[in-house]
Structures are given as structure tokens and as C-alpha cells.
Amino acid sequence: MPPTDDNRRGFLKTLGLGLLASAAGVRAEMNPAVTEHHWTWTRVGADETPDQLRRRFAEIGAAGVHSLVLGGADEAVCALAAAEGLDVHAWWWTLCRGDQTLLTEHPEWYVVSRDGRSACDDPPYVGYYHFLCPTRPDVRRHLREKLSETLAIDGLAGACLDYIRFPDVILPRALWSKYDLVQHEELPRFDFCYCEVCREAFKALEGRDPLELPDPPADAAWRRFRWDAVTRLVNELAALAREQGKMISASVFPSPTIARQLVRQDWPAWDLDAVLPMVYHSFYEEPVSWIEGAVAAGVKALPVDRPLYAALYLPALKGAGEFEAAVARARAGGAAGVALFGGVRTIPGA
């Protein structure tokens, strides 16, 4: 359901009740030095005036949020956010890139499935799933250049990587019926990447062609090869962000195990400043209580000084009670704060 002004008020009211009340509780009950940090995704509306934006940022800040992951950030927007005490991280789609220029000029840059289909002209699941191949040096160079341009925006605190992964080889359980699929195993149509560069690189490393493996999903080295391809890209982008004095974070799948299995993200190995795992319980047909274990698994896998912010899917949380329960579960699992998705103007096209 597209957000409306009524939803927006409800969202902010919920936030105010949940985050601020909970944060006060933590301060009272625990170490007074503990400070939490909260995020939200949002977009600048096409017709939004600076005044409207300023008011919206003020409401978000008053609700207890500190950082925005923002689509459409520029210098002027960063200044408006800063005036309301918010810092801005660019919402940066990494490997899912359907720019017309790339599709036309570099069709070979896109991932190829085990059954030989390219995400350039035959993407899996949905029309926008044009994923680039992270093994290709030209792709990584292109992404470094693009990120460098984004990070050069004055006033931007950093970038939060999104779609930093392969296409889902297995979809979250709740989406199977939507796509009329049963995915108890890795199906060739959704298994990537078998492009020439990946095949050659794996052959050079392991002496085997991935297309000739007797059981590709069962091959540990082939799985690892693809985790490492994404990790190498992330770490190159992280190094670049540090050179530019900017922060780098990423939204990732909910737990390390699920992330590796579904989208080949080995995110505990990524050299980031923060991770925002999408502990969207409803996508996995799990109750709110599931959030705690997913968060705890991530915290345990990360270096001790790496903050984890639990990304919550607001449309799945019914009322202030469930929202507060989700925040409490995230906190109990060891999250340094929460990141809210699905509020006003956060969903592309909403």
C-alpha cells in the first residue's frame, strides 16, 4: 500500500512512542554512557519544496532518528538535514544497475545464469533485476568511479550500499507464492554467475569449469568463490570511501547464514563501518521474536567494534506494540540501534 499522509503521521507517532520512550528506558536502566543510533531510509520527493523537506526532516529527527539513508541526496539536501541534526548517507544501489547506457554499451558486464541467460536482457524474477558481475575488473572500476563521484557531494556523511549481492538464488520464503516458485534447492535459472570471466577465474584458481561441476550448489569452493567476489568489491569500495574521508555501510540479508545461502553475501568479512541487516521477519514467515536471534547471530559474527543496526520492515509491524517489541528484540540481540524501512517515501515508486 502506498504511504499516505495518514500513514506518515502514524509512522512518526509510532516512532516517537517507540524510539524515544525506549531510549529513555535504556538510559535509566543501564549504563548511562550507552547511546543508541537510529536510521531511516527515505527519498526526496520529486515535487518536495525545501520547506516541506525541512519540516519532514524535523519530524524525523524529533522521532529519535539520527541518520538518513537517502535517495536523491545533494549538497542542498544535506545542508537541510544537517540543520535538523541529521546526517545523510547516500542510498547507493551497487550491483543491481539497469542504466540504459550500461545495458547498451556493456551487455557482457551482466551476470549469466547456470542455464545461460544474461541479466542484461533476461533478468530473473522482475524486470529491474539487471545485476552486474563483481568478478569483472571493469565492473569494479566503473563502480569505484561512480561511488567516488557520489561521495564527493559536500556534506554527505557516507554511502550505504544496497543490492550488494548476487540475485537471490533462493527467495525469502514468503515470496515463493508471489513468483509461483518452490525453491528448496538452487535452480539453474536463478544461479549466477557463469559468465566467461567467472568461469576462467574459477578455472585458474581451482582447475575446474563451474559449468562442468557435477553438483554446482554442493561445491564449497564455487560457493566461496562467489562470496569472495562480492567481498572483494565491498572492500575496494570501503577503501575508496576511507580515502575520501566518508563512512561506508551496507544493508544486507538478515543473518550471516541466510545471507550466504540466499544471495552469496559473506558480510561478516566485509570491511565496513556499519552493517544494517534487513531483519524483515515477515519475509521469512517468522514472528517478531525471531529478530533477536537473527541480530545476535550477526553481532556474534562481526568484529566487536563493528556496529550492527537492525533494519526493521515497518509495514509488517502492527501498531506501536509490535514496533516496540521489534525494537526491544533488536536491542536484546545486541543491535546498536535500528534502521527503519517502509515509512513515508522510502519504497521506490511509492
In whole angstroms, how close is the CB of 241 to Zn ion at the nearest point?
A: 24
Give yes or no for a contact between 192 and 166, defined as CB atoms under 8 angstroms apart: yes
Minimum gap (Å) between residue 106 Cβ and Zn ion: 13
Region near Zn ion per CB under 5 A, out of 102-110, 182-190, 192-200, 242-250: 192-200
Closer to Zn ion by Cβ: residue 14 or 135: 135
Q: Is 310 a binder of Zn ion (CB under 5 A)? A: no
Is the Cβ of residue 138 or residue 243 nearer to Zn ion in the bound state? 138
Least separation in angstroms between residue 315's CB and Zn ion is 34
Residues within window 243-282 making contact with Zn ion, judged by CB under 5 A: none
Cβ of residue 233: shortest distance to Zn ion, in angstroms? 12
Output 161 or 230, the one with its CB closest to Zn ion: 230
Query: From the CB of 193, what's the least distance to Zn ion, in Å?
Result: 3
Q: For Zn ion, which is the closer residue by CB, 266 or 286?
A: 266
Please select the residue that binds Zn ion; options are 193, 262, 308, 330, rule is CB under 5 A. Answer: 193
Longest pairwise C-alpha distance within the chain = 61
Near Zn ion by CB under 5 A: residue from 198, 233, 262, 338: 198
Residue with Cβ nearer Zn ion (30 or 211) = 211
Judged by CB under 5 A, which stretch of 28-36, 39-47, 186-194, 302-310 contacts Zn ion? 186-194
Number of residues that bind Zn ion (CB under 5 A): 5
In the complex, least distance from residue 202 CB atom to Zn ion, rounded to whole angstroms? 9
109-138 binders of Zn ion (CB under 5 A): 133, 135
Q: Are 130 and 119 within 8 A, CB to CB? A: yes
Stretch that binds Zn ion, among 13-21, 143-151, 189-197, 249-257 (CB under 5 A): 189-197
Tell me the angle at which helices 196-206 and 220-243 cross, rounded to the nearest 10 degrees. Answer: 110
Amino acid at 324: E
Interface residue with Zn ion, options 68, 139, 169, 195 (CB under 5 A): 195
Q: Which CB atom, from 230 or from 278, has the smaller least distance to Zn ion?
A: 230
Secondary structure string (H, E, C) spanning the chain: CCCCHHHHHHHHHHHHHHHHHHHHHHHHHCCCCCCCCCEEEEECCCCCCHHHHHHHHHHHHHCCCCEEEEECCCHHHHHHHHHCCCEEEEEEECCECCCHHHHHHCHHHECEECCCCECCCCCCCCCCCCEECCCCHHHHHHHHHHHHHHHCCCCCCEEEEECCCCCCCCCCHHHCCCCCCCCCCCCHHHCECCCHHHHHHHHHHHCCCHHHCCCHHHCHHHHHHHHHHHHHHHHHHHHHHHHCCCEEEEEECCCHHHHHHHHCCCHHHCCCCEEEEECCHHHHCCCCCHHHHHHHHHHHHCCCCCCEEEEEEHHHCCHHHHHHHHHHHHHHCCCCEEEEECCCCCCCCC
Residue nearer to Zn ion on the CB measure, 77 or 198: 198
Task: Work out how close the CB of 77 gets to Zn ion at its nearest, in angstroms, rounded to a whole number.
Answer: 36
Rounded least distance, CB 282 to Zn ion, Å: 32
Query: What is the closest distance, in whole angstroms, from the C-beta atom of residue 195 to Zn ion in the complex?
Result: 3
Q: Is 155 exposed, middle or buried (0-12, 13-18, 19+ CB in 10 A)?
A: middle
Chain positions contacting Zn ion, by CB under 5 A: 133, 135, 193, 195, 198
